[in-house]
Amino acid sequence: MDVDPPHLRSSRVKACTECRQQKLRCDAGQSSSTGCSRCRRRGLKCVITSNFVRSKRKTKSELQAELASLKDQLQSPTHPSPGQPPSHVRVSSNSDQAIASPMEQRVHSASTEAFQQQPTREISSVPTQDSTSWSTLPRVFGDVEVSALAINDCFRIFFTRYWPQCPAIEGEISPNDCYSQSQYLFWTITTIGSRRYIRDPTLLSQLAPQLINSTKHAAFSREKSLHTIQAFVLHCAWPLPYNSLSKDITHILSGMLVQHALSVGLHIFGVGQDFSRIKLQNDRAMMYLRARLWVLCIVVCQRISCTDGVPPMYIPDNYDHESHQAQSIYALPPALRFQKTLSRILTESILELERYALSKAMPHRAAVLNPIIDAASLSLAELEPECPGEIERYYLICAELQIVAFHLLGPKGSFQESKIIKMHELACSAIDILDNLDSVQSWAVDAPSNALKYLTLAGFTLLKLSRCHMRDRLDLAQGKMAYFTAMAIFKKAAVETDDSIGRLPKIMTQLWTSKNIFKKADGSTDALSLRCGSRLAMSIVYDCYWWWRSEFAGMPNPYEERDHNTLEEQLTPETFQNMVWLQESFPEFAWPTMQDLASLEWTPQSAAAPSTFPAPGSAMPDLSTIWA
């Protein structure tokens, strides 16, 4: 047995290096000449030294990646030697593993700098054979086989083009590591990358049905919730192509996203200990990761609601509380902090307009509507000096446009020339920003869906204003150029020629050249009236859609040819309620629809009570007797 010189020894009994590495009891001091019993039994060299440093064991994901690499080398006829991957392959380390299994409590997150920095590499138009990774394995998704080359190229496309716009994942991660952590997240990344994978244009259509089935399963699974949340965020940013607005499930998916985030406590700054049944490590990196993921969740959800024309969801969190405000500032990069603030102001403004202005009868709206719009516009304008980039400035201008567009939901007599001019300028500015971004970095090719929906608002706003009675006071030439620019952006952004984005240029062309758009039955034109007025500021978009359906799609017009605002002025609340109930009946249940349920005297013990309503404390009746 080898030992240190006498001057390095101490009175304390030393354990040999093998036992210290395994953290086992060592009896080397009892038989120093022959070594410890464990080393003798295993035939190991027993060494006692004071300079020994215990090496860290490999994690489960590292061992799985190493095993996958060895399998790939055995299957490949020509493979590089282990430890020497090609120079273009980024070898995954501990920092690459954003989230490990919460049941194993192994958390490996990337640094804050890696999250904040955006890659500057440019993707080549044609993937090369050199992109084949030395360790990536081919995978099977349902009945679809995907080669290692396709997986690597899709991952490269995703992290180069898509990830900088929505960094739901902490830095790059190798395909094998991602697959071992979450297969659902793996296939989400692969599917998004396949949107522009020209080596196999059919890959997206093959993966889409399989991904839909996996999404249904993930929605009701609590396993690997953080990975599911990351995948849902990416799904909401780049949904699968659809050819009709009725097939867009992004809003439904965003609701599941927020509920998953709440179920694991992302809205509470920390590691989520109060929402876990096991003890979690108080890891600062995990705290920061959860903070960034929560901001992405709430921003994506609120933005989808705003662009779909439904009231956005406001969920309070404690990130701005005094006890966590300092730490949350370090956790969030400037772009995310700005997006969170912008989304909060826009959400609060829309909810306030809905609660205090749109709830009023049409003749009384203007007195409340205009002050709220002015206050919200001022709050948004104060954010402009804090814009960290052009895309953030685009979202800010679109938010201002949404707020100002609420003027069209008021009485026609309240329309002010200055407000109409401002709407025109904001719409033109928003389109100009996207045009500049596209000319510099081909932004339209990989644009998020909510940004494109905002672009439809800007385009159709210009369409309406170009036909309104105040058009002589607008720069119509600038508006026309911006409108055509929006059409060009939609052409580039389309993933498939017949998807909802690919159809927009033709729809916009037909509406622009139409001679009947916005015309009433008497032949007059009223472009500022909204027949479809229940989609908040996005009523502008859906109103134009209905004009197109009526004239070019041969669909019956659900709105009568009358002024929408005049109808609301003539209807009393009682008359409107009666109209609603006359249109909707419930014959299969025979509910007392015209009675106030709160005023009814329920007497469960009375003999006159229906037999299907049990008295308190009685047994539950047979369900077949209730629904018969």
Spatial separation of the C-alpha atoms in residues 243 and 499, rounded to whole Å: 4
Q: What is the pLDDT of residues 568-606, one digit of tens each?
A: 444 444 444 444 433 333 333 333 433 443 444 444 444
125-139, 320-334, 456-470, 499-513: least confident range: 125-139
Q: What is the pLDDT of residues 381-434, one digit of tens each?
A: 999 999 999 999 999 999 999 999 999 999 987 788 999 999 999 999 999 999
H or E, element range at 145: strand 144-146
Label residue 105 by pLDDT band (50, 70, 90): very low
Buried b (16+ CB within 10 A) or exposed e, 262-276: bebbbbbbbbbeebe
Q: List C-alpha distances in Å: 280 to 101, 226, 270, 275.
A: 12, 14, 10, 10
3-7, 69-73, 76-80, 265-269: least confident range: 76-80
**Given this model, what pLDDT does residue 606 score?**
40
Q: What is the pLDDT of residues 195-218, one digit of tens each?
A: 999 999 999 999 999 999 999 999
**Given this model, what pLDDT does residue 222 score?**
82
Q: What is the mean pLDDT of residues 138-160?
A: 96
Label residue 72 by pLDDT band (50, 70, 90): low
- For the cut 60, the answer to whether the pLDDT of residue 550 exceeds it is yes
**Given this model, what pLDDT does residue 23 score?**
80
Is 369 in contact with 357 (CB distance < 8 Å)?
Answer: yes
Q: What is the mean pLDDT of residues 154-163?
A: 96
Query: Tokens 């380390």 belong to which residue?
Result: 93
Label residue 28 by pLDDT band (50, 70, 90): confident
Would the CA dihedral through 111, 386, 159, 453 be positive or negative?
A: positive
- For the cut 70, the answer to whether the pLDDT of residue 622 exceeds it is no
- Residue by residue, DSSP assigns 327-340 as HHHHHS-HHHHHHH
Cα first-last separation, the chain:
87
Label residue 612 by pLDDT band (50, 70, 90): very low
Label residue 17 by pLDDT band (50, 70, 90): confident
* Residue 282 CB neighbour total at 10 angstroms: 10
Q: List C-alpha distances in Å: 224 to 61, 111, 221, 227.
A: 15, 21, 8, 6
